[in-house]
Amino acid sequence: MSTLGFDPARLGPPAGARVAVVGGCGGMGRVLVQALLDTGVEVAVLDLPSSLAEHAPPPQALALEIDGSQAASVTQAFGALGQRWPQLNGMVNLAGFFKGYERLQHLPVEVFDEVIAGNLRSHFLCAQAALPLLHAAGQASMVQVASTLAVDVVKRYAHYSAAKAGLVALTKGLARENAPAVRVNALAPGLTQTAFLQGGTGRERIFQGIKEEDYAAMVPMKRMAQPQDMCGPMMFLLGPASGFVNGETLIVDGGVYVQ
């Protein structure tokens, strides 16, 4: 090990670390899971049964069914994980979905509640269930995946933005309450080329999608993000190289929000 306290040639967690990835069957999740496995990290993938069936995790990964918006499901999933792994070195939560492309004045309250449950309540429940396993490791990292829409609200996405803004606040609270043993940070991706842009894969397809070329024209990097663009930042936040980063939200959107 380097005198720096981490291996400067290694981006993510050390080989042999154990990391749980909630929502690991999605576009970003699959890339992250493979990167972790490729670097010798043990991985547990927690996702909806339909997502596990559509995008089965690699055979080396432990697969567990979970519905993050349901407390009983979260308790059962992390209970099963704890029986296999008594401690966790890291957890990434990518759970989230969009529904209700409407102005707030027309948005049904049931849709608002569903989006809050799927994008905010789920992160609270999973964090609460994972924390004992993370504390058991002594030094661990939690990464919550939010969105640039948490800070840059656009029309017809305000309910989704409210959930993601709440997630940023939840991250800050978790960071202050659980340091120094567990660091908690958030990643805020800009629009990324995954199935999410066609309405998602885990629950249902909601809207027709976004034209990549139209969005790319607004981005200083002149392209839409790919899932691989989010993998490096997540690996960094999981690993010891980010050991003094806590309570932060890392925006990765090609420079859109800074304009």
* Strand ranges, E, within 77-158: 90-93, 140-145
pLDDT at 210: 66
The kind and range of the H/E element at 91 are: strand 90-93
List, for residues 136-194, the tens digit of each pLDDT value.
999 999 999 999 999 999 999 999 999 999 999 999 999 999 999 999 999 999 876 77
* Per-domain residue ranges of the chain: 18-241+248-252
18-241+248-252 falls under which CATH superfamily?
A: NAD(P)-binding Rossmann-like Domain (3.40.50.720)
3-state secondary structure of 64: strand
Type of residue at 121: R
pLDDT higher than 50, residue 202 = no
- Give the CA diameter of the chain: 58
CB 68 within 8 A of CB 74: yes
For the chain, count helices (H), then strands (E).
8, 7
pLDDT in tens, 4-31: 888 888 989 999 999 999 999 999 999 9
pLDDT (tens digit per residue) in 67-116: 999 999 999 999 999 999 999 999 999 999 999 999 999 999 999 999 99
* Average pLDDT of the residues in 217-229: 77
Q: Identify the pLDDT of residue 197.
A: 58
Band (201; pLDDT cuts 50, 70, 90): very low
pLDDT of residue 204: 54
Task: Take residue 11 and report the two structure tokens written for it.
Answer: 């981006």
pTM of the model: 0.91
pLDDT of residue 118: 95
What pLDDT is attached to residue 1? 52
Dihedral sign from CA coordinates of 204, 56, 141, 152:
negative
